[in-house]
Amino acid sequence: MTVENVVDHPPHAAWLPDAAFTAVGRRRVAVLAPDVSGPGARIPAPGPDRSREVLATLHHEVAAATAAHGGAVVGQDEAPDLLLTLLPGPAHPGPPHPGSAPTPPPSPAPARSGFRVVRDDGRVTVSATGPTALLHGFFHVVRQGEDAFTGPDTDETHAPAQALRVLDHWDNVDVHAVMGQVERGYAGGSIFYDDGRVRDDLSRVTAYARLLAAVGIDRVCINNVNVHAREARLLTDDLAEVARIAAALRPYGVRTHLAVSFAAPMTLGGLPTSDPLDDDVRAWWRAAADRVWATIGDFGGFVVKADSEGQPGPFAYGCDHADGANLLAAAVAPHGGVVHWRAFVYDHTQDWRDRSTDRARAAYDHFAPLDGRFADNVVVQVKHGPLDFQTREAVSPVLAAMPRTRLALELQVTQEYTGQQRHACYLGPWWSENLAFRPWGDDGARVADVVAGRGPGPGGGIAAVSNVGDDRFWTGHPLAQANLYAFGRLAWDPALDAADVLDEWVSLTFPGDDGTVDVRVREVLHAVLDDSWHTYESYTAPLGVGFMVRPGHHYGPDVDGYEYTPWGTYHFADRDGIGVDRTRATGTGFTGQYPAPWRDVYESLETCPDELLLFFHHVPWTHVLHSGVTVAQHVYDTHFAGVERVRETVAAWESLAGLVPGDVDTRVRERLAEQLRSATEWRDQLNTYVWRKSGVADAHGRTIY
Amino acid sequence: MTVENVVDHPPHAAWLPDAAFTAVGRRRVAVLAPDVSGPGARIPAPGPDRSREVLATLHHEVAAATAAHGGAVVGQDEAPDLLLTLLPGPAHPGPPHPGSAPTPPPSPAPARSGFRVVRDDGRVTVSATGPTALLHGFFHVVRQGEDAFTGPDTDETHAPAQALRVLDHWDNVDVHAVMGQVERGYAGGSIFYDDGRVRDDLSRVTAYARLLAAVGIDRVCINNVNVHAREARLLTDDLAEVARIAAALRPYGVRTHLAVSFAAPMTLGGLPTSDPLDDDVRAWWRAAADRVWATIGDFGGFVVKADSEGQPGPFAYGCDHADGANLLAAAVAPHGGVVHWRAFVYDHTQDWRDRSTDRARAAYDHFAPLDGRFADNVVVQVKHGPLDFQTREAVSPVLAAMPRTRLALELQVTQEYTGQQRHACYLGPWWSENLAFRPWGDDGARVADVVAGRGPGPGGGIAAVSNVGDDRFWTGHPLAQANLYAFGRLAWDPALDAADVLDEWVSLTFPGDDGTVDVRVREVLHAVLDDSWHTYESYTAPLGVGFMVRPGHHYGPDVDGYEYTPWGTYHFADRDGIGVDRTRATGTGFTGQYPAPWRDVYESLETCPDELLLFFHHVPWTHVLHSGVTVAQHVYDTHFAGVERVRETVAAWESLAGLVPGDVDTRVRERLAEQLRSATEWRDQLNTYVWRKSGVADAHGRTIY
């Protein structure tokens, strides 16, 4: 990749530059798929034939790669280096029902969503029973590069751990007066909408779907969970426009979901109520779903934020979340659709003087009692932590509390609380920690198992808020592309090591003209990103206490910014100490929402991990951590060190001058300069705040203002 | 006034209900004015004849009052009870030049802006040499009610202490994305504009001018000093629309001023520069002014906010504020126009870590060195305090530092920092304190003298930001009308007692059908309002420390809200103490900007008044005030007491049920409920903040969270 071709070809290629196809493109490749047309068939015919379209895409990708790099498209009997073959499977199956077993059967027959890779004396055969799975298999080979063809003989099957892997877009059709075009978006406008309508040119959406296919994501919810009046109409009046977006996503096997408003029967349907038990309401939703599927045959389902932060919900009718979710589930069930129902429910009009309410408790208190009452095609979507996507918080106990409910883990790729794509913060390690957490202790299932249906419950997969916009680099900060990449890969296989995933991303994104990455570039990108989440944590809110961000936009420090607000996010710092007492013994009792051993590990000051200390306990500034320093000294030490690490990051990146494309370099430098400024501001505000409040002097006498 | 006629006749009559005219309206009234038509002449003819229009208004007012209350319009030789007579004066004089002596000559010949009142055996004669002055004299008689006719014989002249009395509107033509239709407006939309254009129906503007005439205000600046792109065009493309507003104000003798952008030669004129020393720029401004006066013959002048909070100004060209102001002054001088140039200039991108910069110093540092360099028709408009309209701050030392400059005092009627017209807060006493302040000590001139030209300098009058909008009650909170009333009266006569002014306002605003006010209503309004400014101060930021409001909208408490921001408004609270050290000995040296004795009074902890202690000094929480309690205890005591006073206010108001118009009662009750809620929030946040930080327990053991 040269500077010139990047400048000439916006948008940025992300992890699919031409050079990433070097190894495959040099080979002789055959595609064996019965009854499929060529690339010309990519434009959807009336009544879209999903399989045909995806296979056409595969043909097209193979043809483009081989054309670019000197290989050839050949017949299966012409001794191809790579054979991509669609095996006979269920004819025209509907979308996979979430109830289907996500565990792939043993080799050699892959599950419909998986693929098999056989390498025999340097010749590779990828087979699958579904076109999208075969496309995923193709990108698997692309990802492996030369290694795909040069390794020892092998026979592997690959299937996604999570049957449902969704990216949620908080995109608004109309620019929202407060939240803008994309709520919590830090990468420009929406790729779907421009100021009030679906874009005419959706080529960017197809390019996005291609990036997603290359990491195994196959579902996208295209509008904000805060469904405003204009956006609500996507479900009805603007269904034809939604169908255009679905058509743009389809060639790469990506299904479309819609966020809907629980009040839609009233606001769109003119009914006097949205009562989930009302027959007219049920009929309205059934008719609405029928229309959607009649228009978009491979539509995925609905996403709902109900009775949360002002969104309407079933509470208004004396009903609960199970009643609400099941209403929609019944409407979409005939079509194999799924309802993602968010568990992000809490009192956002709390009184800071009220110490009896604890926002961390809210999701469990609302949802755990409903376990077993949700329909099979409802997925309860649970934020990874009990608060709100903080840089560090405990894992949500809801994930261990609903064994009879399909649970999904919700992550946030968009960096609302982790630097807003101005700070380099690679979230792979943080997500890995969440996925690997074992709520029942060392012998129990991991969170990744729970949502995969390999734990005590049926599993609902994984979802995340996308970080993509119409920015030239997709994600504002070019290095934030790594987060989108890592989300896809960890959703497919949560056991992957985050640093290995980053390495894949580097290999794909920064190849030289020969398709390989300069060793210095690889080293520096690891140095910049591998530990960047810990670096970000080190100069922001300490020890799991969370927030301390500027209210509203959530960027930059404001230690007391949320301390006296209705949002339920307090740290209770005074001259003596800081932290939230969430113990059963003396606090809010939140620790009791965990099964053993964590209910006890977190309860005790002796065993509570340092990094979550202030999430679970209120302690004196002079409390000595397991690390051996006081809380106050920890703040000073980590904040001084964090800024130094950012300085090192800046220097490391600058050493790459000339080794990375100029436009990427320029943008990254701009962002790093802002990161250093902002980290310094965080350091100084936090240190000054703690010093002013605690009076504990820095042991090393550094400058605190 | 009955409930019914209020409901039937929006907008609210404020201090000019029909009943206020009872005493005059029962009399036989004659108007003696040569060469003037009747009421029908109020619609301006081409080439407006200002004198004719104002006299027509006077005829109309007299006719309406007498018709409503049983009196009669009679000839001067028919023994009128009230004779209003226009004396020969300078024929068609231009607008009063601010250089004209503001001191009225001794009776019997009143200055053109003043009037003479003679009462002889119950017959009253009001005379003036100008129609607007005669109109003001008429409203003087209205204000006096029966007392005008029943007192002992008298011969008085009344002339405004301040030659220039201006209300500034921070109204935007377009709704601003952040600041709305009216910046810092708390009374609905603009009376001038509606969402992007001048209103078709400007009757409300004329009604406003009538209210202003009744308190002696004769100049209004009709647009925001933050001049955005749309608003800039009022000076050029939309001059015809400005002329419509001027025509709506003119019948009541109110002149129109415009806020203009210093960058106008570039943004409107297409010039490559706005350099004040550039000939093309000077020519552009002269031509612009010529066009304005050609369109609006009695136009007043320009108001400019330059090099302040992002507004353009002369600094970009290496020039100073005198260069900038004199540029515009030269353009308007041929027309007798005046330039109000604001001294509100400071660094709004300050680094909180920088203790060497003190925003309080800024206006003096910028302007005092320029004394003597401003043209005669420039008025440097100085906010009353060195910060920004706080509930309590020291008087600006600029007012004592520029004896060769025409200085105006700028007040804020709109309650940005004093409860935003949700809290009852009568500001008359606060303004009186500012006006009566003697910068040179007991024997020196007062601020009121300085701006009236009775002190060491030529005087530039008084200006204030209006609190009026298209709200039915004009001011959101009906009781906030009293602030607009009081501003007008104190601008006319700063020696008036604020409680007396309030009493006037009560008499005019709450008359019964017989024109007199129920004694209980009068008592309660005094109880609610007389001390309401002190009450508001008692539950908000203590001891002159200022701010502690929510950033951005400035409503409600956020003690640390501005502590780490670039705005230069810090309190430096830590576990040991609070306050800003502005002494010469150890602080920013701001005290040195005052002449003796204040430079020493403020410098010393022994003599600094309690109410300004934290404005001038950083002291321990345990510092004992002159009042005998510690700073911490003072916060607790005043905040608990403040909420109790609000409770008493609520109870007092509720005792008026049935004695005030129902719509006023309803609105006031709504506002009082919010005031009580907000005051409680202020109390609890301030007390908790101080308790958490200081560890000083409340001596009385009250609840602190």
Q: Report pLDDT digits (tens) over B24-64.
A: 999 999 999 875 444 433 333 334 589 999 999 999 999 99
Query: B691: which chain A residues are within 8 Å (Cβ-Cβ)?
Result: 574
- A573 to chain B, any CB pair closer than 8 A? The answer is yes
The residues, any chain, with a CB within 8 Å of residue B663's CB and separated by 6 or more, are B3, B6, B7, B12, B472
B271-280: list long-range contacts, CB under 8 Å, 24+ apart: B273/B317, B274/B312, B274/B316, B274/B317, B275/B317, B275/B319, B276/B314, B276/B317, B276/B319, B276/B323, B276/B324, B276/B326, B276/B327, B277/B317, B277/B319, B277/B323
Helix A50-69, helix A131-144: angle, nearest 10? 20
Number of neighbouring beta carbons within 10 Å of residue A596: 11
Q: Nearest CA of chain B to the CA of A222: how many Å?
A: 27
Q: Does A684 touch chain B (CB under 8 A)?
A: yes
With H, G, I as helix, E, B as strand and everything else as coil, classify residue B577: strand
What's the CA gap between B360 and B466, in Å, rounded? 24
Is A576 an interface residue toward B (CB < 8 Å)?
yes
- Residue A188 confidence (pLDDT): 96
Query: Which amino acid is residue A586, in one-letter code?
Result: T
Q: For B685, which of A564, A576, A692 is closest by C-beta distance?
A: A564
Under a CB-based contact definition with an 8 Å cutoff, are residues B451 and B460 in contact? yes
Candidates B351, B553, B575, B618, partner chain A, best to mutate (most A CBs within 10 A): B575
DSSP B250: G
User: Whose structure tokens read 């003599």?
Assistant: B607
Integer Rg of chain B from CA: 25
Residues of A involved in catalysis: 309, 388, 416
Residues of B in contact with A576 (CB under 8 A): 695
Q: Which residues contact A67 (CB under 8 A, 6 or more apart)?
A: A25
**Nearest residue in chain B measured CA to CA from A695:** B575
For chain B, say whether A685 makes contact (Cβ under 8 Å). Answer: yes
Of B353, B573, B688, the CB nearest to A705: B353
- Nearest chain B residue to A573, by CA: B692
pLDDT band per the 50, 70, 90 thresholds, residue A111: low
| Strand partners for A382 | A409
Question: How many C-beta neighbours within 10 Å does residue B126 have?
Answer: 26
Q: Is B146 a catalytic residue?
A: no
B560 and A564 within 8 Å at the Cβ level: the answer is: no
CA distance A355 to chain B (A): 9
- Give the Cα separation of B241 and B219 in Å (integer): 18
Please tell me the distance in Å from A638's CA to the nearest CA on chain B: 20
Residues 348-367 on A with a CB inside 8 Å of B are 352-353
Whether chain A has a CB inside 8 Å of the CB on B235: the answer is no
The C-alpha of A668 sits at a distance from chain B's nearest C-alpha, in angstroms, of 25
- Annotated active-site residue in B4, B120, B309, B654: B309
Contact B558 A559 (CB under 8 A): no
Q: Tell me which residue of A652, A587, A638 sits closest to A617, measured CA to CA.
A: A587
Which structure tokens are listed for A409?
């883990």
Distance CA B267, CA B289 (A): 16
CA distance B306 to chain A (A): 29
Instruction: Tell me if A693 and B574 make a contact (CB, 8 A cut-off).
Output: yes
The backbone region for A652, taken as left when phi is positive above 0, alpha when psi lies in -120 to 50, beta otherwise, is alpha
Task: Tokens for A155, please give them.
Answer: 């026979």
Give 3-state DSSP helix, strand, coil % of chain A, rounded to 5. Answer: 40, 10, 50
Measure the CA–CA gap between B361 and B592, rounded to whole angstroms. Answer: 10
Question: Who's near B325: CB < 8 A, 6+ residues apart?
Answer: B304, B339, B341, B374, B375, B378, B380
Q: Say if CB B138 and CB B500 are below 8 A apart.
A: no
CA distance B537 to chain A (A): 20
Structure tokens at B305: 């906010």
For residue A218, give Cα distances in angstroms to A13, A142, A462, A592.
19, 18, 12, 37
* CB spacing of B564 vs A688 below 8 angstroms: yes
- Closest CB to A575: pick one of B352, B681, B693: B693
- Percentages of chain B per state (helix, strand, coil), in multiples of 5: 40, 10, 50
DSSP state of A36: -
CB atoms B692 and A557 under 8 Å = no
Min Cα distance B360 → chain A (Å) is: 21
Q: Is B221 helix (H, G, I), strand (E, B) or coil?
A: strand
Q: Provide, as residue numbers in chain A, all residues whose Cβ is less than 8 Å from the Cβ of B575.
A: 575, 692-695
- The amino acid at A406: R
**Chain B residue with minimum CA distance to A355:** B705
Contacts B558 to A, Cβ<8 Å: 560-561, 564
Structure tokens at B302: 């320009």
Q: How far apart are CA B679 and CA B555, in angstroms?
A: 11
Q: Which two tokens stand for residue A600?
A: 């006890």
Provide the b/e sequence for A59-95 (b: ≥16 CB within 10 Å). bbbbbebbeebebbbbeeeeebbbbbbbbebeeeeeb
Which residue(s) pair with B630 in the sheet?
B624
**Cis-peptide into A276, omega within 30 deg:** no
pLDDT at A102 over 60: no
Residues on chain B touching A681 (C-beta within 8 angstroms): 564
Which residues in chain B touch residue A578, judged by CB atoms under 8 angstroms apart? none
- Select from B352, B564, B575 the Cβ nearest to the Cβ of A575: B575
Question: For residue B555, what are its two tokens?
Answer: 């409503």
List chain A residues with CB under 8 Å of B620: none
Rounded Cα gap, residues B596 and B430, in angstroms: 23
CA A525 – CA B659 distance, rounded (Å): 76
Ramachandran class of A246: left when φ > 0, alpha when ψ lies in -120 to 50, beta otherwise = alpha
Rounded to the nearest integer, the mean pLDDT of chain A is 93
Q: Which residue of A has its CA nearest to B680?
A: A353
CB contact under 8 A, B575 and A693: yes
Determine the Cα–Cα distance for residues A573 and A577; give it in Å rounded to an integer: 6
Q: What average pLDDT does the segment A412-437 reach?
A: 98
Cβ pair B678, B556 in contact under 8 A:
yes
**Number of residue pairs across A and B with CB atoms under 8 Å?**
48
Which of B561, B685, B695 comes nearest A575 by C-beta? B695
Q: In Å, how far are A62, A275, A327, A576, B296 from A279, measured between CA atoms?
A: 52, 9, 10, 58, 68
Contact criterion met (CB < 8 Å) for B575 and A573:
no
Chain B contact set for A575 (CB, 8 A): 575, 692-695
Q: How confident is the model at residue A513 (pLDDT cuts 50, 70, 90)?
A: confident
Query: Of the listed B416, B471, B537, B581, which one is catalytic?
Result: B416
Q: Which two tokens stand for residue B366?
A: 């910028």
Length of chain B in terms of residues written? 705
CA distances to A162, A225, A262, A281, A601 from A375, rounded to whole Å, are 19, 21, 17, 18, 34
pLDDT of A35 reads 56
Burial of B599 (0-12, 13-18, 19+ CB in 10 A): middle
Phi, psi of A51 (to 5 degrees): -60, -45
Rounded distance between C-alpha atoms, residue A485 and residue A428, angstroms: 9
Which among A430, A426, A451 has a CA at the least distance from the CA of A504?
A426
Q: What gap in Å lies between CA B525 and CA B497, rounded to an integer?
A: 16
B499: closest CA among B417, B426, B410, B419? B426
B-interface mutation test, from A682, A692, A703, A704, most B Cβ less than 10 A away: A692
Q: Cα–Cα distance between B614 and B623 in angstroms, integer?
A: 11
A chain contacts of residue B693, beta-carbon cutoff 8 Å: 574-575, 692-693
Token representation of residue B588: 């920013």
Residue B119 main-chain phi, psi, to 5 deg: -115, 125
CA distance, residue A215 to nearest chain B CA (Å): 40
**Contacts of residue B488, Cβ cutoff 8 Å, sequence gap at least 6:** B165, B212, B214, B215, B216, B217
B692 touches chain A (CB under 8 A): yes
φ and ψ at B207, to 5 degrees? -60, -35
The residues of chain B scoring below 50 in pLDDT are 1-8, 36-47, 91-109
Q: Which residues in A lie closer than 8 A to residue B560 (C-beta atoms)? A: 558-560
Beta strands in B94-203 (DSSP E): 115-120, 123-128, 154-158, 165-168, 171-176, 180-182, 193-194, 197-198
Amino acid in the structure at residue B152: P
The helix/strand/coil state of A379 is strand
Integer distance in angstroms from the first to the last C-alpha of chain A?
47
Pairing state of beta strands B72-73 and B82-86?
unpaired
- Chain A neighbors of B695, CB-CB under 8 A: 574-576
| Torsion from C-alpha of A123, A127, A133, A137, nearest 10 degrees | -10
Number of helices (H), then strands (E), belonging to chain B: the values are: 22, 20
CB contact under 8 A, B691 and A574: yes
Angle A12-A17-A21 from CA coordinates, rounded to 5° = 165
- Minimal Cα distance from A693: which residue of B? B575
pLDDT of residue A554: 97
CA distance B24 to B30: 11
Q: Do A558 and B575 touch (CB under 8 A)?
A: no
B694 shares contact with chain A (CB less than 8 Å):
yes
